[in-house]
Chains A and B, each alone.
Chain A
């Protein structure tokens, strides 16, 4: 990425305030309300450092949870939860079957996060309107409205959002809504040392992602593909596309992702219609039975 000319305005290290529109300098994108923003996560350059997990916890003042070791490779975080909004998956896959010195070439690492789906099931399920679509096309839970009904939790096809039994509300990644409002890119994307997590405007990220897949396939990585693109794996069944999409090199299930999730709201009308039809039918039978001459 070439340096933005404005970088030269901030060469001193003791700054007295936030750099205006800092995201322009760190990502190349100016954050403008009304545009769609998200993440493109290129898992082929992820080094599994978990800086994204730490940055997310630090910025959002989240307590450390999932205490203890899991024994699942380097993944001691386990899963996304009410207090964990970034979670790095580690999969050690066997690649070499010959007798040469084994080296760590079979690592699969992916930083999991809320997908900020275009047709977000959590938002569609929320009965209080706490979950809403922001001016940056992201999905956020308003903490002063949520009453912890928990309906968003089973709605999410990716198992992201969770209700905290301690503070009684639902929590998930906000795509650093407060940072976006201040012109800063999200904490995880800023902390990522390899630019595996790239923040930006969705259509631009799509272009970059396609270029990267082509580049990888030409270099011999035939298994590289995009997860969360329109009509691709992860964005099936009416979800349209995922604002946080990934470049993966193994099947989605390996990374604990669903291959063909569905939009739960598609089931509302068929279910209601069938149920009401059954009750209506039984009501007609009841009328016939009650009206019988003795």
Chain B
């Protein structure tokens, strides 16, 4: 099974977005076979935890089905949430959610 490491940035019901070290966002649906329950996902997003997601391909969808989530670090390494205004625009690693 493939896996991606990153930070959970957006959570809605049983779906979440993971941003990896290159700043690329990946979309996941939580499989019913995963031991994690949907209500545990917002906690991961709040803590900006570093996780590794093991997933399978989803047919006819642009997204993946997450089978397992391993917690690597309780919170992500320190990084600025807003890019500095004067500096050249750097890709934001984390998105703020309303």
- Cβ of B39 and Cβ of A144 under 8 Å apart? yes
Cβ contacts under 8 Å, B32 to chain A = 148, 166-169
- Cβ of A143 and Cβ of B60 under 8 Å apart? no
- Asked if B1 is at the interface (CB within 8 A of a chain A CB), the reply is no
- Asked if B70 is at the interface (CB within 8 A of a chain A CB), the reply is no
Known: A61-B27, A63-B27, A144-B39. A169 touches B61 (CB 8 A): no
User: In the complex, which residues 44-77 of chain A have their Cβ closer than 8 Å to any Cβ of chain B?
Assistant: 59-67
Q: How far is the CB of B98 from chain A (nearest CB, A)?
A: 6
Docked pose: A207 CA to B98 CA in angstroms: 33
Closest chain B residue, CB of each to CB of A141 = B13
- Cβ of A167 and Cβ of B61 under 8 Å apart? no
Docked pose: A167 CA to B15 CA in angstroms: 9
Cβ contacts under 8 Å, A169 to chain B = 14, 32
Docked pose: A27 CA to B78 CA in angstroms: 41
Q: Can you list, as one digit per residue, whether each of B62-96 has a CB less than 8 Å from chain A (1) or not (0)?
A: 11010000000000000000000000000000000
Known: A164-B29, A169-B32. A63 touches B58 (CB 8 A): yes
Interface size grouping (class) on chain A: 20 to 34
Cβ contacts under 8 Å, B14 to chain A = 143, 167, 169
Interface of A is mostly: loop
Cβ contacts under 8 Å, B98 to chain A = 18, 182
Q: How many residues on B have C-beta within 8 angstroms of the other chain's C-beta atoms?
A: 23
- Asked if A243 is at the interface (CB within 8 A of a chain B CB), the reply is no
The one of B11, B30, B62 that contacts A64, using a Cβ cutoff of 8 Å: B62
Docked pose: A204 CA to B27 CA in angstroms: 39
Interface centre among A59, A61, A164, by most B CB within 10 Å?
A: A61
Q: Can you list, as one digit per residue, whether each of A156-188 has a CB less than 8 Å from chain B (1) or not (0)?
A: 000000001011110100000010001000000
- Cβ of A166 and Cβ of B60 under 8 Å apart? no
Cβ contacts under 8 Å, A67 to chain B = 60-62
- Asked if A83 is at the interface (CB within 8 A of a chain B CB), the reply is yes
Closest chain A residue, CB of each to CB of B40 = A144
Cβ contacts under 8 Å, B58 to chain A = 63, 166
Q: Can you list, as one digit per residue, whether each of B40-64 has a CB less than 8 Å from chain A (1) or not (0)?
A: 0000000000000000001011110
- Asked if B21 is at the interface (CB within 8 A of a chain A CB), the reply is no
User: In the complex, which residues 10-31 of chain B have their Cβ closer than 8 Å to any Cβ of chain A?
Assistant: 10-17, 27, 29-31
Known: A62-B15, A63-B62, A63-B63. A166 touches B37 (CB 8 A): no
Q: How far is the CB of A18 from chain B (nearest CB, A)?
A: 6
The one of B17, B38, B62, B65 that contacts A143, using a Cβ cutoff of 8 Å: B38
Q: How far is the CB of A94 from chain B (nearest CB, A)?
A: 33
Q: How far is the CB of A66 from chain B (nearest CB, A)?
A: 7
Closest chain A residue, CB of each to CB of B12 = A61
Q: How far is the CB of B66 from chain A (nearest CB, A)?
A: 9
Q: How far is the CB of A167 from chain B (nearest CB, A)?
A: 5
- Cβ of B62 and Cβ of A166 under 8 Å apart? no
List the 10 shortest-distance A-B pairs measured between CB atoms, nearest first: A168-B32, A63-B63, A61-B12, A64-B62, A143-B13, A167-B29, A61-B15, A63-B61, A65-B61, A166-B65
Interchain residue pairs with CB less than 8 A apart (18): A61-B11, A61-B12, A63-B15, A63-B27, A63-B29, A63-B58, A64-B62, A65-B61, A143-B13, A143-B14, A143-B38, A166-B58, A166-B65, A167-B31, A167-B32, A168-B31, A169-B14, A171-B13
Q: A61-B17, A63-B15, A169-B14 are in contact. List 12 more A-B contacts (CB 8 A).
A: A61-B15, A63-B29, A63-B61, A63-B62, A64-B62, A64-B63, A65-B60, A143-B13, A143-B38, A144-B37, A166-B29, A166-B31
